Structure formats: structure tokens, C-alpha cells
Amino acid sequence: RTTPDFDQLTLATVPHYLASRPALRPRIDASALSSVVEVGDGNLNLVFIVRDAHGSSLVLKQSLPHVRTDPSWPMTRERSTREWVVLDTHERADAAHVPALFDFDQAHFVLAMEDLSDHDVWRSELNSGRVQGWAAAEVGRYVARTSFASSVFGLDPLEQKRLVARTVNPELCEITENLVFTEPYIEHEHNAVLPGNEADVDALRRDRDVLREIGLAKYRFMSSAQSLLHGDLHTGSVFVRAESGGRPASLRAFDSEFGFYGPTGFDLGALWANFVLAAARAEALGDPDRAAQILALPAALMEAFEAEFRALWPTRLDARIWADDALEALLGDIRRDAAGYAGAKAVRRIVGFAKASDIETLEPALREGAARGVLRAGRVLILSRLGTDSVEALSATVSRIL
Ligand code: ADP
Ligand code: MG
Ligand code: MG
Ligand code: MG
């Protein structure tokens, strides 16, 4: 019998693959599998859920040499290594908020991790009208713990620089640099809006303050190395499971292949932007109460992030120069970054290449108004550096705009 080729896993080769991985032997019985299904719904990778006859299960995630949704767009398979290093680092800092990591096979670009099928993707929950408001504070604590632990406050400077070097992620950062910070503001084949929104996009592109702030935000994205980010922390990268029948609530951030050392506010801003999209959907569907509930999430996120960061601050490795009063200045900087990145990430989901189902699944008549609201709200967030840094005040303005 020939050895199966694991370069591109298939439903047929997964059992052989599992048998070839000693690290997975205690996790699953490869000789008694009951089901293997491919469930990937993202833009990039294959995701298999594997179950055995004894009730154990796990997930295999394998990168393809190209974008899943566009085979003509090549994409480095090294992104698997980045996802592994980020997940491993984040698991050490905050195991409760990421999938448990079981194995990484660098030769075949395969990550094995905990099966979280009993959770739901937060974006799907929001789209179905279930806000899961408790999750905002949980994910705020995740960003606080992982950013603190990977920053120079939590890591020895030599170790921190070694980790910076190991997590350089040029190809995936370039995607963000182009799709978030450049393409929406220029004519580009990746862009698409409804005809009724073209004037809204033009208004944004003619706004010199917006262009300057986006340029500066891009510069900070490309030059700051505050913490090891998740890098793609939208509501589609977060699993939630509400408390029920004595089983505690659970939140897990997954899909960290865009991770790199960047500005901490970028992860917070990604979530914030997706709350704006979800609120715009609720408004479009005639549910202002739910929109209001969703627009409370940015403050819940940021308050929990800041509270957890403050709680960790006394554990910083060097208090000689990073005194207590540096903390609030630092948190203010992160808050302003988060608001600006929220605006940028909201705009890109309307104008640019990767849209969000929150808005896309609205019928066109509702979609146009929702998109206009998000673009105007995005502008306010992009410009917020020049004004207030109160998250509540910004959400109140966003609420009036939507
Ligand atoms: P991509 O990088 O291609 O976006 P993701 O990591 O986001 O891949 O995974 C795609 C989908 O696969 C998720 O939206 C989710 O439905 C499913 N999935 C991913 N990881 C797990 C997991 N650990 N447990 C269960 N389902 C998962
Ligand atoms: Mg994904
Ligand atoms: Mg489910
Ligand atoms: Mg991904």
C-alpha cells in the first residue's frame, strides 16, 4: 500500500493522517472514526471536524497554497505557522478564551485543536437576533490578557524581541494594509457598492481629514509593535456559547493566522466595527431596541479590556520607569486607536473586498440605507482622534447616525 499524500487533506486521507500523528493518539481513536466532515466557511482554509466512536472529537485546520475562495490568488502556507505561534502564545496567556491546541504539523500546514462545535459563531448569533451581550466583556478580557502578556510589560525584553521576530507576518499584514487602509479610499477592482451608495463613498474619499487619519492609522498599523495581536478579530472569529443548564458561558477567539506584533487597539477596533455593522442591521430591520443593546457593546468591551489591563498592571516586569500614572495615558492611546481602527474596519466591510453577512444578507432596499449609516458612522470613528475619546459618547453619536 502506498503512503497517502497529506499535502492536501481530503475526507478519505484524514483517518490515515490522524494515525500518523503520535500527538493526536490520546485525543482520538483513528481506527474507529464515526465521521469526518469539512466545514470551512472562511475565505482561506480547510477545516475538518473529526469524531470517533467513543465520543471524542477534534478539528484539523489546513492551509491551502491559495485563497480558498479564489484559487488564482496564491497565499503563503506559512500562515499556518503564524496561527500556531499566536494560538500557542495566547493559550499560555488566556487558555479560557481560545481553542485548546493539540498539535501542529509544520510539514503539512495542519493545526489540530479542540472541537468547538457546541459553540456558535458570534456573527451568526447577532444576525439571528441573539446579541450575547455578555460576550463583549469576555473578549475584552481576552485582549487585555493576551496583549499584556505579549507586551514588554509581561515579557522579558529579549524574549519579547525573539517573539516579535518569530511572528513577522508580511503577506497577511499586506492583505490588511491593502484591503483595510488603501483600497476603500481609491478606485480599485476589489471594491463594490450598490449604485445608491456611490455618492456616499465619494464623499468619504474627498474628505481630507478622513484620508489623513486613515493614512496615520495605516502607519501605526505598520510600525507599532505593542502586542501580539489576533489580527482578524471580527465577530466571525469568535465562538460563543451562552450559559445554560449549569454549563458556564464560554467565548473562544479562533482563526489567528493574521496575527503579528501590532497596535493593541487594532483587535479592539475590529470588534467595535463589527458591533456597528450588527447595529446597522438591527436598525435596518426595524429593531431599534436591539440596535441600542448592540451599541452598548463597544463600551462593555473597552471597559472590560481596561479593567483587566489595570488589574494586570501591578504584575508588570519593570516598574522602575513604567510608573502607575503611565497606565492611564497608555489606555487612552489604545482607546483612541481602537476607535479609529473601528471606523476603518467598518468602512472596508461596506466598500472593499471582504463584505460582512450582517449587511450583505439585507435586501438591497434596506442594504443601501444600512451601508450609508455605516459609512457615516465609520467617518465619525475615523475622525474621533480629533475629539472625544469617550466610548459612550461615540456610540451615542453612532446611534443617531444609524
Ligand atoms: P478561515 O481561516 O478559512 O477563515 P476559520 O478558522 O475561520 O478558517 O474556520 C472556518 C470555520 O470552521 C469557522 O467559521 C467555524 O465554523 C469552523 N471552525 C473553525 N475552527 C473550529 C473549531 N475549533 N471547532 C469547530 N468549528 C470550527
Ligand atoms: Mg475565519
Ligand atoms: Mg451550534
Ligand atoms: Mg482565517
pLDDT (tens digit, 9 = 90+) per residue, 247-262? 999 999 999 999 999 9
The residues placing their C-beta within 5 Å of ligand 4, an ion, are: 42, 44, 255, 257
Q: Is 47 in the pocket of ligand 1 (CB under 6 A)?
A: yes
User: Separation of 331 CA from ligand 1 center, angstroms?
Assistant: 31
Q: Is 115 in the pocket of ligand 1 (CB under 6 A)?
A: yes
Q: Is 45 in the pocket of ligand 1 (CB under 6 A)?
A: yes
Name the closest ligand to CA 258. Answer: 4
Terminal-to-terminal C-alpha distance of the chain: 63
89, pLDDT greater than 70 = yes
pLDDT digits (tens, 9 = 90+) for 266-316: 999 999 999 999 999 999 999 999 999 999 999 999 999 999 999 999 999
* Pocket test residue of 255, 257, 258, 357 for ligand 1, highest count of atoms within 8 A of CB: 255
Q: Is 59 in the pocket of ligand 1 (CB under 6 A)?
A: yes
> Span 28-45, mean pLDDT?
92
* All structural domains of the chain: 14-113 (3.30.200.20), 120-401 (3.90.1200.10)
> Span 145-160, mean pLDDT?
97
Residue 32 pLDDT grade (very low, low, confident, very high; cuts 50, 70, 90): very high
Would the ipTM clear 0.85, i.e. be above it? yes
> Span 169-178, mean pLDDT?
97
Q: Is 255 in the pocket of ligand 1 (CB under 6 A)?
A: yes
For the chain, the three-class secondary structure string (H helix, E strand, C coil) is CCCCCCCCCCCCCHHHHHHCCHHHCCCCCHHHEEEEEECCCCCCEEEEEEEECCCCEEEEEEECCEECCEEEEECCCCHHHHHHHHHHHHHHHHHHHCCCEEEEECCCCEEEECCCCCCEEHHHHHHCCCCCCHHHHHHHHHHHHHHHHHCCCCCCHHHHHHHHHHCCCHHHHHHHHHHHHCHHHCCCCCCCCCHHHHHHHHHHHHCHHHHHHHHHHHHHHHHCCCEECCCCCCHHHEEEECCECCECCEEEECCCCCCCEECCHHHHHHHHHHHHHHHHHHHHCCCHHHHHHHHCHHHHHHHHHHHHHHHHHHHCCCCCCCCHHHHHHHHHHHHHHHHHHHHHHHHHHHHCCCCCHHHHCCCHHHHHHHHHHHHHHHHHHHCHHHCCCCHHHHHHHHHHHC
pLDDT digits (tens, 9 = 90+) for 40-80: 887 789 999 999 999 999 999 999 998 888 889 899 999 99
Q: Is 99 in the pocket of ligand 1 (CB under 6 A)?
A: yes
The residues placing their C-beta within 5 Å of ligand 2, an ion, are: 42, 255
Q: Is 273 in the pocket of ligand 1 (CB under 6 A)?
A: no
Q: If you average pLDDT over every residue of the chain, what do you get?
A: 96
pLDDT of residue 1: 54
pLDDT of residue 2: 67
